[in-house]
Structure 1
Amino acid sequence: MDVSGYAAKPEAYDSLSAYQIAEFCNEHGLARDEIDHFAANLLGSPVSATPVQGATSYTVCGDKAGRVVQFRRSQLPMRKIEVARQIYEDFVPECKSQGMFGPVHVYVANLVPGPAFCRVRSQFFSPAPTMEQRLQQTVQDFARFFASAWINKPAHTLEPPPGLLGEYSKILDEVSPDLPAQLQAKLDDVRQELPRLFRSSYPMVLQHDDLLENNFHVDETTGHITGIVDWADAKIAPFGVSLANMEVVLGIQTRTNWYFHPNHHSLRKLFWKTFYRVTGYISKDDRRSIEVARLFGLFREHGREEKEHAIAYLSALCLL
């Protein structure tokens, strides 16, 4: 089954970006040409808007500089971004504060080459064999990215926010009621095993908490991930919670369902094979903890949506 048609086309992101830029300028009372002029002076070259924008920022790239300027509603957590660069290395672009421009915060970052995955996902999910080879590369790089957090633990222990276990339990309590029996059993298992994620021996790591298809870029000729952006919402959490986002390279979410790549089972095996090759030995107990964290992430992400949507998404993602 060809599922590529379920992916949004680049034109949809063009329209969304134009809307977001206009909203950002209106919200902060700024003229777009004045912002662009300020950015051009910072980079020493003309600038243009990047193809994918954010809901609370405006980003432009220099024509020659190999850098971007981002104007943001709120400050970035620079210390967390430094930690992210230590953990995930070249996956995270360098970023520096440039003060303020009127009411908004200004940052200069390295340009991440290649399109955001959202703009090429329909190509990568097409039936052509060459496209599946590129998607396989993306899957392997995604696995290496997640494995980086296991092998590059900071020298000092990262402390989670106080009460995080209670917060996670509350999230599971808020999952849509009256789930089908299989899903309810899976939810109960995750609830019962949550404390294993807070064992002193299990790592707390800094994780990207919004790792959607618009926040990582790829080389569209090879499938290699060239960088992961938008670390504004990075969080310290038990390792594996953000693994819920691995699904964005295995399938496509629509308003009502989740459509997997026809070969998602083999792609999933490739992901885990690559992950465990990079991490090296991980005990059976920790492997179970990783799975509990991943399932919790899925229930957190999709379990509190409207009942019929929650059941559709969770059935597809948790009952593989």
Structure 2
Amino acid sequence: MASSSHDSGVYLEPFFDRCNLPATVQVDCDAFASSRYSGPIRPAPFQGYCSYTLFADEETVVQFRPSAYKLDIDMTNTASNVFKTLAPETEYLGQLAGTDLHVFSMRKLPGISLADYRVMSCKKRSAREQLVRDFAQLQVLALRNARQAESLQDEKRTVGSSLTSRLESMSASLPLRFRQTASSILDDISGIEALPWVFTHGDFLAANIMVNACSGELTGLLDWAESEWLPFGVGMYGLEELLGEDDENGRFVYYTEAGHLREIFWNHLVLLIPEIARNSKAVALVKKAQILGVLLWHGIAFDDGKLNRVVEEGKDDREIQRLGVFLSCMSSTQQSKLREISSSVSSRLGLIRSYLLKKV
């Protein structure tokens, strides 16, 4: 949803082929946009898996989506209300005649995708540090608009309405080395569900993350089709995506400074929300919710939008590799990091209180 000089490697033909649409439909899409906008119509350099995207002018994007990936305007409005300029305002324009394609217009977000930014030679460690701080700020915006689970009974969507059953499936069917982790999170699901529920982006991938081409600062998030309300911490699965990237063989590898970046994130988060560090039980639950997020996003197969199958060896090796890397790192380092952060914040608060008492 932002212009980019780089092509991230996803082309138009697979989308129309996947939707079983003849080539003439692309012409019809272009004509639909041309009939509503006076500026030149051109395909976006990056085309996602679930849509065909056009630039209508310097400020507007037009997107065509089949029913399976149709945007929920109520959800896109919520995203704009919660995350302000980081989520594009979206309008439903109707259905393309004779097809299953639904048409949406939205504000073009500034910057380039993180996927494109990563191939630029100017990327810097400082930009990665800025991005994890911005990701912490994203959690704060979500928490400021949190709701309690009881108020969402009729609004829980695909994932939020089935956390327990998904964990049960993963505890029984994930590759053996992951089942204990899933079972452990299942034991704590009641506590996790008692956390505040926050609006969560459901597809936090490099192609959907928009950044400033110079600074790497977060400028917005694309594709809110999978967004929904989930317990606070579940959406932090996205932190792992910022701590590394795929190598030339398509295997996820952490950056050498990943531990430092993780510490920056948690330090910034507790600086912005110091109350979470005062409650060790809440911190533990948020951490478990983050692990739950990793399990949900990499332990359940996508299958063209269907989210009802546990990943399998030999069939979903990319997701299993990421699951192994993420869970191994999180279990070995993050718990100690959080204890250090919690202790540090408590000490700082104690010093501040002592100073104030002396002043009085």
Q: TM-score by structure 2 length?
A: 0.74
Matched residue count = 299
Unaligned runs of 5+ in 1: 1-9
- What are the Cα deviations for residues 213-256 of structure 1, in whole angstroms up to 9, with x where unaligned? 11121111011111111111112221221211221111124667
8 Å contact 2:168–2:183 — kept in the other structure? no
The equivalent residue for 2:245 is: 252
Return the alpha-carbon distance in structure 1 between the equivalents of residues 81 and 280 of structure 2: 27
Corresponding residue for 2:306? none
* Higher RCO (Cα < 8 Å, 6 or more apart): 1
Q: What's the counterpart of residue 270 of structure 2?
A: 276
Q: What are the Cα deviations for residues 148-191 of structure 1, in whole angstroms up to 9, with x where unaligned?
A: 11122259933335853432332432442421xxx555344222
What residue ranges of structure 2 are gaps of 5+ in the alignment? 1-5, 300-309, 330-360
In structure 2, the residue matched to 1:213 is 206
Alignment check: 8 A CA contact 1:21 1:58 kept? yes
Partner of 1:114: 111
Amino acid at match of 2:295: F
Output aligned runs, 1:122-271, within 5 Å.
Answer: 122-123=119-120, 131-153=124-146, 157-159=151-153, 160=156, 164-179=162-177, 185-199=180-194, 202-253=195-246, 257-271=251-265
What is the CA-CA distance between 1:143 and the residue it aligns to?
Answer: 1.7
Q: Does 1:288 align with 2:294?
A: no
* 2: CA distance, partners of 1:230 / 1:42: 22
In 1, Cα distance between equivalents of 2:193 and 2:36: 45
Deviation of 1:73 (Å): 0.8
Of 54-63 and 220-229, deviating more is 54-63
Equivalent position SS for 2:42: strand
Counterpart amino acid of residue 270 in structure 2: Y
State which of 54, 62, 67 in structure 2 corresponds to 1:69: 62
Distance (whole Å) between structure 2 residues aligned to residue 195 and residue 154 of structure 1: 16
Amino acid at match of 1:138: L
C-alpha displacement at 1:211, in angstroms?
A: 1.2
Mapped to 1, the partners of 2:251 and 2:311 lie a distance apart of 12
Alpha-carbon deviations, 1:8-65, whole Å to 9, x = none? xx55x33x2233354368526743233223213322201111122222311111343x
Change (3 A) 1:221 1:245: same
Give the TM-score normalised by structure 1.
0.83
- For the 8 Å contact 1:87–1:152, the answer to whether it is kept is yes
Q: Which residue of 1 aligns with 2:304?
A: none
Contact 2:51 2:64 in 1 (8 A): yes
Aligned position for 1:82: 77
Distance 1:211 1:319 in 2: 20
Aligned to 2:35: 41
Q: 2-side partners of 1:297 and 1:228: how far apart?
A: 18
Partner secondary structure for residue 252 of structure 1: strand
Q: Distance in 1 between matches of 2:255 and 2:161?
A: 38
Provide the C-alpha distance between the structure 1 equivalents of 2:75 and 2:320, rounded to a whole number of angstroms: 35
